[in-house]
Amino acid sequence: MGVWFWRLILLSLAGIIFSPKHCVSQKETGRKYKFMQDATSAPRTSYYDYIIIGGGTAGCPLAATLSQNHNVLMLERGGSPYGNPNITNLSAFGDPLSDTSLSSPAQRFISEDGVINSRARVLGGGSCINAGFYTRASRHYVREAGWEEKLVNESYKWVERVVVFRPPVLQFQSAVRDGLLEAGVLPYNGYTFDHIYGTKVGGTIFDQNGHRHTAADLLEYANSDGITLLLHATVYRILFTKERSNSRPVAYGVVFKDAHGLEHRAYLKQGTKSEIIVSAGALGSPQLLMLSGIGPAHHLREHNIDVVLDQPLVGRGMKDNPMNAVFIPSPTPTEVSLIQVVGITNFGSYIEAASGENFNRDSQQNFGMFFPKIGQFSKLPPKQRTPEALAKAIEKMESLQEEAFQGGFILEKINGPISKGHLELRNTDPNENPLVTFNYFQDPRDLEKCIQGIRIIEKIIDSKAFSPFKYNNMSASSLINMTANRTSISLAQFCRDTVMTIWHYHGGCQVGRVVDRDYKVLGVDALRVIDGSTFNYSPGTNPQATVMMLGRYMGVKILQERLVADETK
């Protein structure tokens, strides 16, 4: 019986004394679930079978599933998405992304590459601020990941029953679809979630009324007696102990702070199968492992962090799929649309589109997915996108005539990517962004996919189907030069200079490097990472379907493992 055992006994006693039944304020706005509460009302110490860090796209389906048989605590640093029109309203897409205040559900970060990016800070995670497109991973991807196909399919369906809808494909999206077919991205596969070559219409988490449904809605599946969800609960570190000086570190609790800055601790109930699961996203998960002492030893020491495990691969393999888009001013009005149609080419480039409505200066209406205010800025190369240049571009845009904003964007995202970067701590504050580098197009194969993708976009622009949405006097080539703010530019240079993000960044705790195929962190016990940080490549054309699926899938796997373990006891 080690020190750990006695520590737990003492802590359990403390827990009995200091663990009043959580008091709940029904007045809190946006309080959809009775098990959801602000962390300020949480006890200083509490005990659970599972502690999930991050109530995001993977965390919510995971918590809902584990709560069926166990006591689960989920800690989310952000607030509730319910009742916030910036989140629930499709046409408000740009609002969270342009809101850079501390209370915004989106936290802006700028990679060392110079590309402006954003990460979620809200219950439901990225699914609350994203463009809503829903599409599954390929069968090849599922096999490579070593997942069981049957359970994968069941898990996707479990998600789809609650949050996925068929988009209303209107005039602009239809023109892009037909243009893709003219450009030879064949066959036409109709409306499907499957990842297959050709052109298709995918699903969306926006319903017919333009209302967003998010991963937080998957908590409808939760067992309300088995789950505690704390909002505005920022985890500072995971606690580890060791049976003996030479044994593996074991995770046994977490330290988190509420909105008043008060520190709380949550511990695992004693029992060999209890676990802490990190679902803090591609930036948050590697950052939190490092803050807890798992990472490259020399780097941790630079920040005076006690090293629990020297793991040089934490924060390695950071990837962001580059996105390049061409703006096409239109003589005819276009609907407001985010992504609905996708062309899946056989050379690794995915073609998608978004369209805007007339820019309404009075209401500060956003312009679809591309507007410097939300950080999407391609008129200058990444390194030149300084705050001053961005401010100038926003000012210039706001002075333009409304007609200048009528039109749409056709974009391409490459698969993979192969190019990769790294993440380091900037400081020891979990509220601040770590330093992240993606090295867009460092690998020439990534660049080649981009060039070929732009050639398809040129064909779509010049297609018969697309002709109502472009001016006759503007060729595809002139639109490309115009998009890059240049009189002449090669396609390779276009790819490099106009690179933006489609926010599908991933990696940092990759399978085979930081976690094993069961998502258990290598070298320690009672700790897993389950979210987009574990991906080696981005799944499907867009990842959210597979992130939600993974939360459900691993929840079911863990429940099954527990049943087997309890039976053989």
Ligand X SMILES: *[C@@H]1O[C@H](CO)[C@@H](O)[C@H](O)[C@H]1NC(C)=O
Ligand Y SMILES: Cc1cc2nc3c(=O)[nH]c(=O)nc-3n(C[C@H](O)[C@H](O)[C@H](O)COP(=O)(O)OP(=O)(O)OC[C@H]3O[C@@H](n4cnc5c(N)ncnc54)[C@H](O)[C@@H]3O)c2cc1C
Region near ligand X per CB under 6 A, out of 1-9, 89-97, 173-181, 521-529: 89-97
Please list, in sequence order, all residues whose beta carbon lies within 8 angstroms of the beta carbon of residue 413, skipping any fewer than 6 positions away: 321, 322, 323, 349, 350, 352, 502, 504, 541
Q: Look at residue 199 and give its three-state secondary structure.
A: strand
Binders of ligand Y in range 76-95 (CB under 6 A)? 76-78
Looking at 98, 279, 378, 483, which residue binds ligand X (CB under 6 A)?
98
* Binds ligand Y by CB under 6 A, chosen from 377, 544, 552, 556: 544
Which span (35-43, 179-187, 305-313, 470-478) binds ligand X, by CB under 6 A?
470-478
91 lines the binding site for ligand X (CB under 6 A): yes
Q: Is 509 in the site for ligand Y (CB under 6 A)?
A: no
Active site (annotated) includes residue 506: no
Q: Check binding of 41 to ligand X (CB under 6 A).
A: no
Q: Which region, judged by CB under 6 A, interacts with ligand Y, from 395-403, 477-485, 542-550, 555-563?
A: 542-550
How many residues are recorded in the chain? 569
Please enumerate in sequence order all residues whose Cβ is within 8 A of that of 435, keeping only pairs 6 or more positions apart, or say none. 112, 423, 424, 425, 426
- Binding window for ligand X (CB under 6 A); candidates: 48-56, 145-153, 180-188, 343-351: 145-153
Cβ closest to ligand Y, residue 370 vs residue 470 = 370
Q: Which of 411, 324, 322, 406 is nearest to 367 (CA)?
A: 406
95 binds, among ligand Y, ligand X, none (CB under 5 to 8 A by kind): ligand X
Report the residue number, 13 or 474, with the smaller CB distance to ligand X.
474
149 contributes a contact to ligand X by CB under 6 A: yes
**Tell me, what amino acid is at 547?**
V
Q: Contacting ligand X (CB under 6 A), which of 2, 490, 517, 560?
A: 490
Query: How far apart, in Å, are the Cα atoms of 401 and each of 83, 404, 470?
Result: 33, 6, 18
Q: Which one of the spans 88-96, 179-187, 274-282, 291-299 is the region binding ligand X (CB under 6 A)?
A: 88-96
Euclidean distance between CA atoms 122 and 107, whole angstroms: 10
Q: Which two tokens stand for residue 324?
A: 């390049």
Q: Under the criterion CB under 6 A, does residue 279 sit at the interface with ligand Y? A: yes
Catalytic-role residue among 70, 232, 504, 506? 504
Size of the site for ligand X (CB under 6 A): 30
DSSP string for residues in 345-406: -TTSEEEEEEE-----TTTT---TT--GGGT---SS-GGG--HHHHHHHHHHHHTS-GGGG-
Q: How far is the CB of 366 from ligand X (least distance, A)?
A: 9
Residue 305 near residue 413, CB atoms below 8 Å: no
3-state secondary structure 142-178: HHHHCCCHHHHHHHHHHHHHHHCECCCCCHHHHHHHH
Residue with token string 């704390």: 230
**Nearest-approach distance from CB 57 to ligand Y, in angstroms:** 3
Min. distance of Cβ 148 from ligand X in angstroms?
A: 8
Helix (H, G, I), strand (E, B) or coil at 119: strand
**Rounded to 5°, angle at Cα 48 from 43 and 52:** 95
According to the binding rule CB under 6 A, does residue 473 interact with ligand X?
yes
Q: How far apart are CA 174 and CA 158, in angstroms?
A: 29
- Does residue number 338 form part of the binding site for ligand X (CB under 6 A)? no
The residue within the footprint of ligand Y, chosen from 82, 133, 141, 377 (CB under 6 A), is 133
Calpha distance 420→423 (Å, rounded):
10
Instruction: Candidates 94-102, 110-118, 270-278, 286-294: pick the segment binding ligand X (CB under 6 A).
Output: 94-102
Residue 488, interface with ligand X (CB under 6 A)? Answer: yes
| Stretch of 118-126, 222-230, 265-273, 441-449 contacting ligand Y, by CB under 6 A | 118-126
Query: Of 372-401, which residues contact ligand X (CB under 6 A)?
Result: 379-380, 389, 393, 396
Q: What's the order of all strands across the beta sheet hosting 500-501?
A: 188-191, 198-201, 341-344, 349-355, 407-414, 322-329, 500-501
Q: Please, what is the angle between helix 171-182 and helix 444-461, to 10°?
A: 110
489 binds, among ligand X, ligand Y, none (CB under 5 to 8 A by kind): ligand X
Q: Are 89 and 210 in contact (CB under 8 A)?
A: yes
Binding partner at 125 among ligand Y, ligand X, none, C-beta below 5 to 8 Å by kind = ligand Y
Number of residues that bind ligand Y (CB under 6 A): 42
For 192, 218, 236, the CA distances from 43, given in Å and listed in that order, are 47, 26, 17
Helix (H, G, I), strand (E, B) or coil at 223: coil
Tokens representing residue 230 in the block: 């704390």
Among 65, 71, 86, 546, binds ligand X (CB under 6 A): 86
Residue in 89, 189, 223, 437 binding ligand X, rule: CB under 6 A: 89
- The Cα–Cα gap between 82 and 75 comes to 17
CA distance readout (Å), 106 to 99, 293, 499: 7, 27, 21
Nearer to ligand Y, 365 or 463 (CB): 365
Residue 263: CB atoms within 10 A of its CB come to 10
Please report how close the Cβ of residue 292 comes to ligand X at its closest, in angstroms. Answer: 31
| Continuous segment of H or E residues that includes residue 295 | strand 294-295
CB closer to ligand X, 349 vs 406: 406
**Closest CB to ligand Y among 277 and 480?**
277
Residues with catalytic function: 504
Q: Residue numbers of the site for ligand Y (CB under 6 A)?
A: 53-58, 75-78, 97, 118-122, 125-127, 129-133, 234-235, 279-282, 284, 288, 339, 430, 503-504, 531-532, 542-544, 547
Q: Residue numbers of the site for ligand X (CB under 6 A)?
A: 84-86, 89, 91-92, 95, 98-99, 149-150, 153, 194, 363, 379-380, 389, 393, 396, 471, 473-475, 477-478, 481, 485, 488-490
